[in-house]
Amino acid sequence: MKKINEILGMKYPIIQGAMANIATGEFAAACSNAGAFGIVAVGGLPPEKFEEEIIKCKKLTDKPFGVNIMLMHPQADDIADIIARNPVAAVTTGAGNPGKYISMWKEKGIFVMPVVASVLLAERMVNAGADAVIAEGTESGGHVGEMTTMALVPQMVDRLDVPVIAAGGIADGRGMAAAYALGACGVQVGTCLLASNECPIHENYKQAVVKAGDNATVVTGRSAHAPVRVLKNKMARKYLQMELKGSDRDELEKLTLGSLRKAVFDGDADNGSLMSGQICGLVKEIRPLAEIFEEMTEGCNKVIDDLQGR
Ligand SMILES: Cc1cc2nc3c(=O)[nH]c(=O)nc-3n(C[C@H](O)[C@H](O)[C@H](O)COP(=O)(O)O)c2cc1C
């Protein structure tokens, strides 16, 4: 089995997960320069701003990088065209079916990797032409599905003929080795990168991740069919109370409007949406990206050697 770094051409088999408002051109370039595969995230950016971030990333790195499109973006068609006009090494897609864009991207030589949380969806993506899939378990930070990485990855590996990348709950060499054991060809990580020197989030957000324990996250938005994993704080607790009371989608949206920006830019640890995965309890210090990627890969090799009794 080819590892994802052999397919995409980076040093380590690690993809930096897209993170709305965080994965800028500068951050993606820093990840690629540190040996992983950087991804510029569109999040809620207007199309022209997204294009600027892609161009910025191209200027800052000569290494391969990709982009992420959230298909629920109101201008998804324009964003898909921008990706075709600025061909990058790969595109990851979330929150919808990218089927109608896949042939346009592939004509430009772009490798297409939808992020999926169920085998059925993954099969649909592969039938639509996806080159690989990213199996994202519910341990992840941000928008989540129901299945765990442990249960999802081997089922996807068994059912698909394309490479599967594991995401959700991975932050060190043990996690990476587990992903390989389940049949994945590499990993995508998000939470552990929040605690990097280069990550452009407010210091308060980084500290909240570093101080978080194993049970520090909660999923909000299940009642609105938009589940999001965040650190427990004043806002998350209020949101959950409102969901219990049966508040409608509009009221809930009012509470969370701009809340990720509050966390990322203002460092508002009470009222911001501090998206984070369950693996935050393993993330104990803020470190350079290069160290995070190198240690994860070396740690993985050591685990595999140990298992083989070397
Ligand atoms: C703060 C944050 C924001 C995220 N935003 C996005 C996004 O905009 N698009 C997307 O496809 N995934 C998003 N994700 C998911 C990540 O790309 C990645 O799959 C996930 O973080 C991997 O799991 P982990 O957090 O356990 O490492 C986000 C994750 C975090 C932590």
In tens, the pLDDT along 31-70 reads 999 999 999 999 889 999 999 999 999 999 999 999 999 9
Residue with tokens 């042939």: 103
- Supply the pLDDT for residue 253: 87
Q: Are residues 185 and 233 in the same domain?
A: no
With contact defined as beta carbons under 8 Å apart, do 117 and 138 qualify? yes
Same-domain pairing of 257 and 182: no
Q: What is the best residue among 50, 69, 125, 140 to mutate for testing ligand 1's pocket, by most ligand atoms within 8 Å of CB?
A: 140
pLDDT of residue 24: 97
- pLDDT at residue 286, as a whole number: 98
Average pLDDT over every residue of 218-230: 93
- Asked whether residue 40 falls in the same domain as residue 68, the answer is yes
Please tell me the distance from the alpha carbon of residue 226 to that of residue 65, in angstroms, as a whole number. Answer: 28
Confidence of residue 96 (pLDDT cuts 50, 70, 90): confident
Is residue 1 assigned to a domain?
Answer: no
**How confident is the model at residue 26, as a pLDDT?**
98
Residues 179 and 268 in one domain: no
**Which residues form the domain of 157?**
10-200+280-307
207 falls within a domain: no
Instruction: Say if CB 61 and CB 33 are below 8 A apart.
Output: yes
Q: Are residues 121 and 138 in the same domain?
A: yes
44 shares its domain with 118: yes
Looking at the predicted structure, is the pLDDT value of residue 230 above 80? yes
Per-residue confidence (pLDDT) for residue 257, from 0 to 100: 84
In a domain, 206, yes or no: no
Reported as a pLDDT band with limits 50, 70 and 90, residue 107 is: very high
pLDDT in tens, 246-281: 998 888 888 888 888 899 999 999 999 999 999 999
Q: What is the pLDDT of residue 7?
A: 97
Ligand 1 residue neighbourhood (C-beta within 6 Å): 17-20, 22, 41, 43, 68, 70, 94, 115, 136, 139-142, 167-170, 188-191, 275-277, 279
Q: Are 63 and 196 part of one and the same domain? A: yes
Measured from the Cα of 278, ligand 1's closest atom is: 26
Q: Is 210 part of any domain?
A: no
20, pLDDT greater than 90 = yes
Is residue 255 one of the residues assigned to a domain? yes
With respect to residue 205, please indicate whether it lies within any of the assigned structural domains: no
Are 138 and 228 contacting, i.e. CB atoms less than 8 angstroms apart?
no
Q: How far apart are the first and last CA of the chain?
A: 22
Whether 208 maps to a domain, the answer reads no
The reply to whether 265 and 289 lie within a common domain is: no
Question: Which has the higher per-residue pLDDT, 132 or 253?
Answer: 132
Question: Are both 151 and 109 inside the same structural domain?
Answer: yes
Count Cβ atoms within 10 A of the Cβ of residue 75 and give its class: 0-12 exposed, 13-18 middle, 19 or more buried: middle
Q: Domain of 111: which CATH number?
A: 3.20.20.70
Residue 221 has pLDDT above 80, yes or no: yes
Closest by Cα among 128, 267, 299, 283 to 195: 283
Looking at the fold, whether 292 and 244 belong to one and the same domain comes out as no
Q: How many structural domains comprise the chain?
A: 2
Q: Comparing 71-80, 174-183, 207-216, which segment has the lowest mean pLDDT? A: 71-80
- Mean pLDDT is lowest, of 26-30, 41-45, 173-177, for 41-45
Closest Cα to atom 7, ligand 1: which residue?
A: 19
In a domain, 209, yes or no: no
